[in-house]
Structure 1
Amino acid sequence: MNHIILKGGRVIDPAANRDGVFDVLIKDNVIAAIDRDIAAPDSKTTIVDCRDKLVLPGLIDTHGHVYQGVTGRFGLNADMCGVYSGVTTLVDQGGASCITLPGFRQYVIEPSKTRVVSYMSAYLVGGLEGHFYPELYRPDCLDVEATVTAAKKNSDIVRGLKAHAEIGGFSRWGVDVMRIASQIGREAALPVYIHFGQLWPKPEDGGAPVNPDSIFNQVVDMLKPGDVLAHPFSRHPGGFVEVNGSIHPMVKEAIARGLKIDVGHGSHFSFKTARIVLDAGVVPDTLGADMHGYNTIVPPPAGTPSWHPDESVHIFKGNERFSLVSAMTSMLALGIPLNHVVAMVTSNAAKLARMEDEIGTLKVGGVADVSVLDDLRGRWVMHDNEGTQVITDRMLHPAFCYRNGQRYDATATILPVAKAA
């Protein structure tokens, strides 16, 4: 029998309304106790000093791209983004489709040390090269029956669906793709995660004229409670912030209808846009890192494109190394309280994954998924993809995590190196 005590850390667990200095006892692969000053059960107990660290429920990244190999340069290694970055659960956003889901299970989910689940693509081709080829995502390339069937037959791993609502697509096909994606979500009884902010350039023939500010309300009117609106802090038009720099008037109505908001940090993130959204009183529910092979410094597979039509990935300065935890630091720098930031990547994220009964909290008898972070003080410079610099006096960095009771140190090559102010 293996006993581990995480000693003297600041335990923050929003689902349990716990925030204080506690010990956490792990027995084999479950949480055995949470209390102040737990005595070692036996002489072989491992004591891990967590003083001055944050001890959190295992972090959940709600926006990963980890269909490595199949999605070309786009898909990263799950464990690099996961346990070796202090993250115990990843939600892959749109990598697998009804066609490629069996491979995702066999080659990503099953061999990974990180827990991986899927928000399956609404498109037959999934996330090939990060949606590099727009014409593969036209209305003819969705199949309602096949996608609903795949989702229902794989309900243990499929937790939702992924679709896109952006200017390039609307210029080509109008609302048809989103209408079909919404239908799939209703028939499968699954949440649909919607990408906002331009992804594809407008078609060479000009396409149909699109008012960016008209996209958000058209899409919201198709959705159901529990669906997820992504990229509220995007620098691109066509989302939460109108062209004139004001919050879209439909955002608060969408929240009132029960729709959820995921940051989806990635290369679209803008401190300026975030300030507009937060100052309007809109605080996102969850936080995903949105890392992929075009916005991190990983070696590209041979023969894959050297560029991407999403211009954000070419001007993503300063944060070429990043992680879910560094995205948490960005949220703190914006003034979002620590307890809410923790909820974004634990209890709220577990609800997005429809796994709140399994993960997202530290509970006696529950799985031993625990993330331990360094909570540093000083002065550091942070950048976004517009070149905006923000000075922060608090920096979070992953130290290690326990996934199902097994320890993994945070050694991923994508983890950022802080730049002193």
Structure 2
Amino acid sequence: MAEPAGYDILLKGGHVICPATGINGIRDVAVRDGRIAAVEETILPSSATETIDVSGKLVLPGMIDTHGHIYQYVTGRFGLNPDMVGVHSGVTTVIDQGGPSCMTLPGFRKFIAEPSDTRIYAFLSAYLVGGLEGHYYPNLYSPDCVDIDATVRSAIANRDLVRGIKGHAEIGGFARWGIKVMEMAAEIARRAEIPLYVHFGTLWGLPESGANGEDADTILERVIPLLKEGDVLAHPFTRHPGGFVNQQGEVHHVIQAALERGLKVDVGHGSHFSYRLAKKAIAAGVVPHTLGADMHGYNTHVPAPAGTPEEHYDDENHPFKGQARFSLTQAMSSMMALGLSLEQVVPMVTINPAKMIGLTDRVGSLTVGYAADISVLDDNRGRFLLRDNEDTKVVAERLLTPAFCLRAGKKFDADAVILPQAVAA
């Protein structure tokens, strides 16, 4: 009689979807020593120390959030706790978008990336100050506050952590300084040979379209020629001027050509997201490659800790007071409510982000031998009400919610306080 395989954990009977390996069906997944040991139609429960029944649930490669803001404390009220956004929300990898800079990256490594249970990467800010509360201190985001050489050196020296550069192409910066900062950000990314992730859409408190003769609808066509294959256009469905849909309600004419030459699109959901404009862009053939949640301290309500008066903890004056709790799985549900299939959405949080950061050899797949980063989701059926920051409401017939995840084989329940509650339609 053969000896038991000696697995540590067996996930039994779940619907496994792994675009990287082509699996889409009922499978058992076994973990040993923190790594994927087997993915098969049937694995005996007696072969594992612990068996978890995941029948009726979705079992995905560990989800990757391509747009996080997790430089907690250093980025003021902006940065959320990385494990709250990550493993305790069913997400095994979070990419911070522009929190650390070449100046502050050592602190990000020491106090965020290293101690977190979540796998952490960063897109380094093009600005020396990183992702501070720029809408309060806009002068920190001028060309004088960019050091191309220092940022390139930092990105190259920290390649294990830094997987891209973050830049902002929005009307406030253009009205103050023109395209100069974007030119500098593009040069940093070219020289460091990593992707540039570009924010489009107006930022809070900055000049509107028309200031100093600048037109938000011209930004895309001026910025896209600076970009290279693999660079990322973020916030395609923004409700603010400067996104993929112009102020006449038309999808910008340069988008299709940009996609054809290898530029990528990240949803960057958060408070920018508009169901109304997303419908127009998707109808025009704009299907995002990746799905960043873009949660931060202004658009995600974090309840006060026990014993702390709410009024002493929550900022009454922040720009998006009252935003509901949020999650990456809620963003996935939004995409499906707009007509995309589950099979279209799953790659946006698994293999496509892995390609974006050049790490398909270790994340985004349930390949045997890879670290056992696995997200397990509940696939709820019914009629659920979703809303955006324009207060547009849509009805979703499927609502994905995180059940738990394994990060390198260690189990974390999806118990983050920011996870939204289902609302029946």
Query: TM-score higher than 0.5 here?
Result: yes
Shift in Å at residue 307 of structure 1? Answer: 3.4
Q: How does 1:250-261 map to 2 (within 5 A)?
A: 250-261=254-265
Distance 1:5 1:81, change over 3 A: same
Q: Deviations over 1:234-293 (max 9, x none)?
A: 001112011100100000011011100000000010000100100001100000100000
Instruction: Report 1:43-62 matches (<5 A).
Output: 45-62=49-66
Aligned match of 1:396 = 400
CA contact (8 A) 2:268 2:291 kept: yes
Q: Find the counterpart in structure 2 of residue 174 from structure 1.
A: 178
CA distance in 1, matches of 2:291, 2:206: 29
> Structure 1 residues 107, 202: closer, same or farther in 2, change over 3 A?
closer
Aligned partner of 1:307: which letter?
N
Measured after TM superposition, the shift of residue 152 of structure 1 is: 0.6
Per-residue Cα deviation, 1:296-324 (whole angstroms, up to 9, x for no partner): 1126897997535xx5x35xx6x510111
| 1:176 counterpart letter in structure 2 | K
Q: Is the 8 A contact 2:134 2:140 kept in 1?
A: no
CA distance in 2, matches of 1:77, 1:381: 27
SS of residue in 1 equivalent to 2:84: helix
Q: Distance in 2 between matches of 1:412 and 1:196?
A: 29
Please report how far the alpha carbon of residue 169 of structure 1 lies from its aligned counterpart in structure 2 after TM superposition.
Answer: 0.9
Aligned residue type for 2:370: G
Distance between the aligned counterparts of 1:288 and 1:240, measured in 2? Answer: 17
**Structure 2 partner of 1:13:** 18
In 2, the alpha carbon distance for the partners of 1:7 and 1:103 equals 41
Q: Is 1:23 aligned with 2:16?
A: no
CA deviations over 1:354-389 (Å, ceiling 9, x no partner):
211110000111110000000010111110000101
Q: Aligned residues: percent identity?
A: 57
The answer to whether the Cα contact below 8 Å between 2:238 and 2:272 also exists between their aligned partners in 1 is: yes
Residues 1-400 of structure 1: matches in 2 within 5 Å? 3-40=8-45, 42=47, 45-129=49-133, 131-203=135-207, 207-298=211-302, 306-308=316-318, 313-314=320-321, 320-400=324-404
Q: Counterparts of 1:145 and 1:115 in 2: how far apart (Å)? A: 28
Deviation at 1:130, TM superposition (A): 5.5
Deviation by residue 1:119-174 (Cα, 9 ceiling, x = unmatched): 01000000012653211101101000000000011010000000100111111111
Provide closer, same or farther for how the CA distance between residues 283 and 101 of structure 1 changes in structure 2, counting only shifts above 3 A: same
The alpha-carbon deviation at position 28 of structure 1 amounts to 2.0
2:309 corresponds in structure 1 to: none
Aligned length in residues: 413
Q: Secondary structure at the match of 2:213?
A: coil
Equivalent residue letter for 2:23: R
- How many angstroms apart in 2 are the aligned matches of 1:406 and 1:383? 34
Considering only aligned residues, what root-mean-square deviation do their CA atoms show, in Å? 1.8
Check whether the contact 1:72–1:304 (CA below 8 A) recurs between aligned residues: no
CA distance 1:48–1:130, change in 2 (3 Å): farther
How much does 1:2 deviate? 5.3
3-state SS of 1:415 partner: coil
Residue 412 (structure 2) aligns with = 408
Question: Residue 167 of structure 1 contacts residue 200 of structure 1 at CA under 8 Å; is this kept in 2?
Answer: no
CA distance in 2, matches of 1:395, 1:5: 25
Shift, 1:353, TM fit = 1.9
Give the drift of 1:3: 1.6
Are 1:73 and 1:304, in contact at CA under 8 Å, matched by a contact in 2? no
Report the 3-state secondary structure (helix = DSSP H, G, I; strand = E; otherwise coil) of the residue aligned with 2:343. helix
Is the 8 Å Cα contact of residues 35 and 369 (structure 2) preserved in structure 1?
yes
Residues 63-114 of structure 1 deviation map (CA, whole Å, 9 limit, x = unaligned) = 0000001001100000000000000000000000000000000000000000
Query: What's the secondary structure of 2:51's corresponding residue?
Result: strand
**1:304–1:322 CA distance, 2 compared to 1 (3 A):** closer
Offset of residue 200 of structure 1? 4.2
In structure 2, the CA distance between the partners of 1:230 and 1:238, relative to structure 1 (3 Å rule), is same
Structure 2 counterpart of 1:156, which letter?
D
Long gaps (5+) in structure 2: 1-5, 306-311
Given that 2:135 and 2:206 are in contact with CA atoms closer than 8 Å, whether structure 1 keeps it comes out as no
Alpha-carbon separation, structure 2, partners of 1:324 and 1:361: 18
Say if 1:272 and 1:362 are closer, same or farther in 2 by CA, change over 3 A: same
Deviation at 1:202, TM superposition (A): 4.1
Moved over 6 A (4+): 300-305
Separation (CA, whole Å) in 1 of partners of 2:12 and 2:166: 40
- The answer to whether the Cα contact below 8 Å between 1:163 and 1:193 also exists between their aligned partners in 2 is yes
Q: Is the 8 A contact 2:170 2:203 kept in 1?
A: yes
SS of residue paired to 1:420: coil
Distance 1:305 1:136, change over 3 A: farther
Q: Which runs of 5+ in 1 are unaligned?
A: none
CA distance in 1, matches of 2:206, 2:51: 58
Amino acid at match of 1:357: D
